[in-house]
Amino acid sequence: MNYQTILQEIHTEILPLLGEGKVADYIPALAKADPSDFAMSITCNDGRVYSVGASEQRFSIQSISKVYGFTLALKAYRDKLYKRVWREPSGDPFNSLVQLEYEEGIPRNPFINAGAIVISDTLISKHKENSLNEVLTLIQESAEMEDVSISEEVFTSEMDHSFRNRSLANLMKSFGNLDNDVQSVLEHYFAQCSVMMNTQELSRSMLYLAHDGTDPISKKTFLTPPQAKRINAVMLTCGHYDASGDFAFRVGLPGKSGVGGGIVAVVPRVMSIAVYSPALNAQGNSLVGTKALELFTTKTGLSIF
């Protein structure tokens, strides 16, 4: 199969959709994104790389960073992690407090905000003041980037508009499910959200999830095979907030989206994919990005189902 041709077909087919959806505007740093931007990259387990669009343009990875946090926490705590965060779909929007209150401060999964905040807390407990560095190192090593940077503008903007996440964090703290102080935990969380990457780097970075926890190119091992599979499983059932079922239904791949417009997806044993387009659909996921991935699995048959 000629993946480059397929990417170009997809690029052509999504062009008419580029005006639809709405760029995230809750912080100015995101609102400035150009809704007509688009990029898509594939990195195969055998090292081949294909890209289309602005695949070198970096954007803030936002919730995609939750995959890295989950990876490090799973490595550090193994199954003990699930005492503090579950792995069930939430059936609710990504930042709902309702379920969190009924379930006494235990978030449904690591991919809703509450879950990622707890994950951040566990990383601080484990790595102290190096917790953020651990995330940046994982990103740098898995993507083989020379260096990884954080957008100060995005970070500051997020901190200034963090009331709802602060509400979630304080609620969990009141239930005893945060060990560190709320401010430190939120700083770690928003810093990892503010990491800047492009689709080439993202698709390269996620390859360890397509290859049982070990990067097939660098041979570095980030997780055990069962751990990698389980992150894929949780991405499939929970990776897109309350549109997770729809994404599984339409795309049929484990994936994780970010409000910055990026989505990553994994074809187990074959490849990793990253796509970028900042205008979001009603559920807060990249509208064109979701469509591009749907076209990709339809054209290639590379769904897991």
| Residue closer to a second copy, measured from CB, 144 or 246 | 246
For 8, 81, 111, 168, the CA distances from 163, given in Å and listed in that order, are 41, 26, 19, 9
144 binds a second copy (CB under 8 A): no
174 binds a second copy (CB under 8 A): yes
Please say whether the beta carbons of 305 and 46 come within 8 A: no
Q: Which residue, chain included where needed, has tokens 């060990």?
A: 179
Distance separating alpha carbons of residues 54 and 36, to the nearest angstrom = 11
* Backbone angle region of 241, left / alpha / beta, with phi > 0 → left and psi within -120 to 50 → alpha: left
47 binds a second copy (CB under 8 A): no
Among 55, 60, 96, 205, binds a second copy (CB under 8 A): 96
Distance separating alpha carbons of residues 276 and 292, to the nearest angstrom = 10
For 114, 232, 239, the CA distances from 91, given in Å and listed in that order, are 14, 19, 12
| Residue closer to a second copy, measured from CB, 168 or 195 | 168
CA R_g for the chain: 18
Nearest distance in Å: CB 6, a second copy: 18
Tell me which residues are annotated as active site.
63, 66, 189, 241, 259
303 binds a second copy (CB under 8 A): yes
Among 19, 31, 91, 104, binds a second copy (CB under 8 A): 91
Nearest distance in Å: CB 248, a second copy: 4
Please say whether the beta carbons of 192 and 135 come within 8 A: yes
Binding-residue total with a second copy (CB under 8 A): 50
99 binds a second copy (CB under 8 A): yes
Please say whether the beta carbons of 4 and 53 come within 8 A: no
Which range touches a second copy (CB under 8 A), out of 59-67, 199-207, 215-223, 239-247? 239-247
Among 11, 49, 76, 86, binds a second copy (CB under 8 A): 86
Q: Give the interface with a second copy as residue ranges (CB under 8 A).
A: 86-92, 96-99, 101-102, 108-109, 163-164, 166-171, 173-174, 182, 226, 228-230, 232-234, 236-238, 242-246, 248-249, 252, 254, 268, 298, 303-305
